[in-house]
Structure 1
Amino acid sequence: MNLLLLFDEDFQPDGTARLTGRRAQHAREVLKAEPGESLRVGRLNGLTGTGEVLENSPGVLHLRVDLTEAPPPRAGVDLLLAIPRPKALKKVLPAVASLGVDRIVLVNAARVEKSYFDSKVLNEAFVRELLLQGLEQARDTRLPEVLIRERFRPFVEDELDTVFGPEALRLLPHPPAAHSLQAGDIASATRVVLAIGPDGGWVPFEAQLLEAHAFQPFSLGPRILRVETAVPVLLGQVTLLKAPAP
């Protein structure tokens, strides 16, 4: 944990913050923070800074907080992701939060097992906890928005433009494509949407429907990657290509 996240309910009338549960336990047992020491803290969806330890007793961490710094800049990337295996999703969600993704739409697809929708990983509280872990790792405070859609075609035809906006550059990693990611005009894009399929890939109908809605197919090369590998690789490449030249 590289950042202790503070929630609105943690703050006291005098401006200090009192933390309980996992965060307080981490500060006591792992960080072994003593009164007078400073910890890196950040307010959820707000600024980051330092927290001076006033008390670190079993179950309670009391901090004097000074928040003056902006969190890391956003990546300018959204993600349309066919729901992966629950074990993979538990790795993907912290990763996308730590990489600064703003919006994640988890969508059904032909090669998504219907049982995935019954997994506890899709529980709102479970999703939030995984995202918070990613923010703590990256010293970020901005919580991504997560939407879950059980019907692929209605989402693409009826909601996609509203959710992602018409101005975003839409990219479709799809093995049959001939062009590389570098061939796209990513550097000039203000926002990018990546549509990443399940381990078995998008079926032809799904890929064609996405292309009909302005997604540009590209290839990652001859290697076939699992979703939990493909997501951070793609996000890293897109973020690098979007970055202004030094």
Structure 2
Amino acid sequence: MNLILLFPEDFVATDRVLLSGRRLRHVLEVHRAAVGQCLCVGEAGGRIGRGEVLRLDDDGLELAVTFEREPPPPLPVTLLLTLPRPKVLKRVLLAATSLGVKRIVLMNSFRVEKSFWKSPALVGEGLREPLILGLEQARDTVLPEVLLKPLFKPFVEDELPALSVGSTRLVAHPLTERACPREVFSPVTLAVGPEGGFIPYEIEKLQEAGFLPCALGERILRVETAVTTLLARLF
């Protein structure tokens, strides 16, 4: 935890917070902080600053907080991710959030198991936890928007053109010889399929929506490896 992310319910005064649970345990066991020490804090959706430890024991962590600077700028990318298995999803969401992705669309594909859409990882704290961990890791405060699109064809035909307008549209596809571009630094909509890639019909539909297939080479990568590698290469 490189930043303690604070939410409205944490504030007991305009400049005081009282924390318990996971964040308290982390400060006690990992930071091993003491009264008078300053920790990096951030207000969810807002600025980053410092929290001076006023009290720290097994019952709670009390901080006097001030906010001084803006969070780091986001990546100009919309990530379209075919829904992976729940454990992989958590790792990808954490990594993408820590890299600065602010819009993630979880979409369907022929190779996505139907049971994945019923996972607790898609609702409530199951979805929120890896996003928060990603922000804490990267010292960021702005939660990504996560959209669920369980129907491939209606999404790609009816919604995706407007969602991706004004951006470079790319789809990662291991069977193309076209290399993924480098250092784009302009808006990108990036579609990443399952480890076996999108099926030909899905690639065709994405191409009709203006997406250009690109690859990272001959190797077939795990989803979490492909996402981080593509983002690093693009930006």
- Place the TM-score, normalised by the shorter chain, in its bin: over 0.9
Q: What is the aligned counterpart of 1:226 among 219, 222, 231?
A: 222
Q: How many angstroms apart in 1 are the aligned matches of 2:77 and 2:51?
A: 31
* TM-score between both structures, scaled by the size of structure 1: 0.91
Q: CA deviation at 1:165?
A: 4.0
Unaligned runs of 5+ in 2: none
User: How much identity, in percent, do the aligned residues show?
Assistant: 49
Q: CA deviation at 1:14?
A: 4.0
2:208 aligned residue: 212
User: Contact 1:78/1:192 (CA < 8 Å) preserved in 2?
Assistant: yes
Taking the TM superposition and a 5 Å limit, the aligned residue runs for 1:6-85 are 6-85=6-85
Taking the TM superposition and a 5 Å limit, the aligned residue runs for 1:1-246 are 1-162=1-162, 164-182=163-181, 186-187=184-185, 189=186, 191-239=187-235
**SS of structure 2 residue aligned to 1:109:** coil
Q: CA deviation at 1:176?
A: 2.3
1:244 aligned residue: none
Amino acid at match of 1:171: L
Q: How many angstroms apart in 1 are the aligned matches of 2:93 and 2:25?
A: 23
Misfit runs of 4+, over 3 Å: none
Q: CA deviation at 1:6?
A: 0.6
* Greater CA drift, 137-146 or 13-22: 13-22
User: Contact 1:84/1:199 (CA < 8 Å) preserved in 2?
Assistant: no
1:242 aligned residue: none
User: Contact 2:2/2:139 (CA < 8 Å) preserved in 1?
Assistant: yes
User: Contact 2:2/2:138 (CA < 8 Å) preserved in 1?
Assistant: yes
Decide whether aligned partners of structure 1 residues 63 and 185 sit closer, same or farther in structure 2, where only a CA change above 3 A counts.
closer
Q: How many angstroms apart in 2 are the aligned matches of 1:14 and 1:120?
A: 35
* TM-score between both structures, scaled by the size of structure 2: 0.95
**SS of structure 1 residue aligned to 2:170:** strand
Q: CA deviation at 1:185?
A: 8.4
**SS of structure 1 residue aligned to 2:176:** coil
Q: CA deviation at 1:119?
A: 1.8
Q: How many angstroms apart in 2 are the aligned matches of 1:128 and 1:59?
A: 25
CA deviations 1:152-195 (Å, max 9, x no partner) are 11111122234x3411111111122222113x7824x2x11110
**SS of structure 1 residue aligned to 2:13:** coil
Q: How many angstroms apart in 1 are the aligned matches of 2:126 and 2:197?
A: 26
Q: CA deviation at 1:45?
A: 1.2
**SS of structure 2 residue aligned to 1:131:** helix
Q: How many angstroms apart in 2 are the aligned matches of 1:207 and 1:100?
A: 27
**SS of structure 1 residue aligned to 2:32:** coil
CA RMSD of aligned residues (A): 1.4
Q: How many angstroms apart in 1 are the aligned matches of 2:230 and 2:31?
A: 33
Q: CA deviation at 1:43?
A: 0.8
Q: How many angstroms apart in 1 are the aligned matches of 2:156 and 2:94?
A: 25
